[in-house]
Amino acid sequence: MKFETILFDVKDRVATITINRPEAMNSFTRQMMDDFTAAWRHIAETEDIHCAILRAAPGKAFSTGVDVKAASQPGGSVMHDDIWVAEDPGEQLGPKSNRCWKPIICAVHGMAAGGAFYWINESDIVICSEDATFFDPHVTYGMTAALEPIGATYRMPLGDVMRMTLLGNDERISAHTALRLGLVTEVTENDKLWSRADELAAIIAAKPPAATAGSVKAIWESLDMPRSVALRTALKYCQLGNPVGQTQVDRAAIMSKAKSYTVR
């Protein structure tokens, strides 16, 4: 597939999306929103894709959110001018908002600010390099911070989300603080970020896709339900997905390798 603002590659059942606007801190535009909508739909509908990696072109930032310069140009706004028609840009950027249930590994380097959380909040596994920093500058510029930090409450403790939101540009969450808070699950050396994402994706992609995608969908959709309802609904996912998933594996071969694993 060909895109204007992202690079897209598929190898060994893993799709890799690279945000490709390093000259603009990998900020997103209207065109990038359209590119991501198409990319997530392609990943969701392609059987040979079992997992996806989201990363950003090398530079100072994973993403600094919306490209404010592009948005100020005629026709460049990422939202409709009519407030009754306007939609959250994240509905086009995030995999779950696009109903893509393939596992997503997000590899963050450098600055991840504001709108970058649209991707981080909807990824299944988030890892980062040692130089990564996370912050939300909205209130510093007189803007209400709501969409990204509310999404972040599903990854971070409320107090830390509020601190990030209210301190704005004046404080950044370091990679190791992000690990402590649960925003990321692993911190790598800067030059090993992409290779580590590849390793994790390869492990996941080797598993039966009916099981991984079904698990992703079941768990994410449960977040919108009360606990008791989510647990009652969970059985239906197993009844639907397990027969398919079990036909996609050689269980005897798996059992023979059961003692091979890593400890995190």
| Domain with 224 in it | 209-256
Q: Are residues 154 and 199 in the same domain?
A: yes
Whether 94 maps to a domain, the answer reads yes
| Residue-wise pLDDT tens digits, 142-200 | 999 999 999 999 999 999 999 999 999 999 999 999 999 999 999 999 999 999 999 99
Q: Are residues 57 and 114 in the same domain?
A: yes
Q: Are residues 110 and 240 in the same domain?
A: no
Angle (deg, nearest 10), helices 227-247 and 209-222: 170
Dist CA 152 CA 58 (whole Å): 24
| Residue-wise pLDDT tens digits, 47-104 | 999 999 999 999 999 999 999 888 777 777 877 778 787 788 889 999 999 999 999 9
- Helix/strand/coil percent split, the chain, to 5: 45, 15, 35
What's the sign of the alpha-carbon dihedral 234, 236, 239, 245? negative
Query: Residue 173 has which token pair?
Result: 């969450």
Query: Residue 172 has which token pair?
Result: 């950044």
Q: Are residues 164 and 228 in the same domain?
A: no
Q: What is the pTM of this model?
A: 0.93
Dist CA 32 CA 26 (whole Å): 10
Q: Are residues 170 and 192 in the same domain?
A: yes
Q: Are residues 168 and 217 in the same domain?
A: no
Residue 178 sits in a domain of what CATH number?
3.90.226.10
Q: How many domains does the chain contain in total?
A: 2
